[in-house]
Amino acid sequence: MKKCATHWKDYECIDAGNGEKLERWKNIILRRPDPQAVWLADTSSKEWKNTHAIYHRSKQGGGSWDFKKDLPEYWTIDYKELTFKVSPTGFKHTGLFPEQAVNWDWMQEAIRNSHSEVRVLNLFAYTGGATMACSSAGASEVVHVDASKGMVQWAKENMALSHLENNTIRFIVDDVLKFVQREKRRGHTYHGILMDPPSYGRGPNGEMWKLEEQITELVSACLEILDDEPLFFLVNSYTTGFSSTVLENILSTTVLKRFPNGKVEAGEVGLPITRENLTLPCGIYGRWIKND
C-alpha cells in the first residue's frame, strides 16, 4: 500500500531523477541527492539551474552545500496548524521529512477520534514532527526520546514555533531501548507508540544500534509498555533493502498477536512529483491500529 503526502502547501517536490530531487521549501529551492530517484530527468532545465543551494556528495563520504544565493541560517514552513524550523545541515538533511505528514495525519485522526486520554511515546524522535502533530491533536502527554541533544533542542524550538509550550511534552535524551526498559520497571504505559529507527546509530553513551538485529527486540520491549487499551503502533524505516513486508510480519507476530482487536498494514510512503506526475518513494511504514 502506498501513502502519499498530498496536503502540503509550503513544501513541494518539483522534480526528481538522475539520482537527485528538486524541492521547494516555502520560497527556497534546494537540490539534493536521492538514491531512489534513478529514472531519467532533464536536469539541464531552467528549474534545476535556478536553485538557492545544491548538496554535493563527496567520494570520501558525506558532502557539502554549494550555496548559489544568500540563504538565512534557518526559516520556517507550515503544515496545517504546525510550524517547523528548516535549515540545511551538513548531512544533506533539512530537519524535516515532509513525506511523514501522511503518518502525522493518521495519528492525529486516531487521537482526535479517541474519547479518552491518549499518552504517546515517540522514539528516535528527531526534530519532533510527529511529537508536535500528536500533541496538537490532543494527546494528554507526548514523550519525545532521541539520543541527540542537538535534535532534541531543535524539537523544543519546533514546540515553541507551533505554540505548544503549554502542552505536556517531555523531552528525553537517552538510548531508546534503555529508556523503554526503565519505563517498564516504572510501570508507565502508552496508548500510542511510534518509532523511526535508523539503519545504524549510537546512543548518547556509545550504545550501538543495528536495525535488522535489534528492531524485533525493541518492538517486543515496547509491547510491554503498551496500554491495555492501545490506540496505535507505528514503525517507519528508511533502510535500503528493508521490505515493508518485514515490518508487517514483525507487527503481526508481536502487537497483533497480543491485541487481535486491531489490524496491521504496511507499505511505502512517498511524495508527489509535480513536474512528471510521479511519486518519489521515501521509505516504508508498518502500522497497527485499533479496529473501529
Q: Left, alpha or beta for 176 (phi > 0: left; psi -120 to 50: alpha)?
A: alpha
Q: Does the CA dihedral 288-249-178-127 come out positive or negative?
A: negative
Q: What is the pLDDT of residue 209?
A: 67
Question: Three-state SS for 248?
Answer: helix
Question: Three-state SS for 252?
Answer: helix
The yes-or-no verdict on residue 21 having pLDDT over 70 is: yes
Q: List % helix, strand, coil for the chain (3-state, nearest 5).
A: 25, 35, 40
Q: Name the percent of the chain lying above pLDDT 70.
A: 99
How far apart CA 100 and CA 194 sit, in angstroms, is: 12
111-157 pLDDT per residue, tens:
999 989 999 999 999 999 999 999 999 999 999 999 999 999 999 99
How far apart CA 265 and CA 24 sit, in angstroms, is: 31
Cell triple for 194: 511510534
The yes-or-no verdict on residue 79 having pLDDT over 70 is: yes
DSSP sequence for 14-68: EEEETTEEEEEETTEEEEEE-TT--S---TTSHHHHS-SEEEEE-TTS-EEEEES
215-267 pLDDT per residue, tens:
999 999 999 999 999 999 999 999 888 899 999 999 999 999 999 999 999 99
Instruction: Enumerate domains of the chain plus CATH numbers.
Output: 8-72 (2.60.40.1180), 98-290 (3.40.50.150)
271-287 pLDDT per residue, tens:
999 998 899 999 999 99
The yes-or-no verdict on residue 106 having pLDDT over 80 is: yes
Q: Which residues contact 171 (CB under 8 A, 6 or more apart)?
A: 144, 152, 155, 156
Work out the number of other CB atoms within 10 angstroms of the CB of residue 106: 17
Cell triple for 21: 530531487
Which residue in 107, 105, 114 sits closest to 79, CA to CA?
A: 105
180-207 pLDDT per residue, tens:
999 999 999 999 999 998 887 777 777 7
Q: What is the pLDDT of residue 181?
A: 97
How far apart CA 273 and CA 276 sit, in angstroms, is: 6
How far apart CA 235 and CA 247 sit, in angstroms, is: 7
Strand-strand pairing, 119-123 and 141-146: parallel
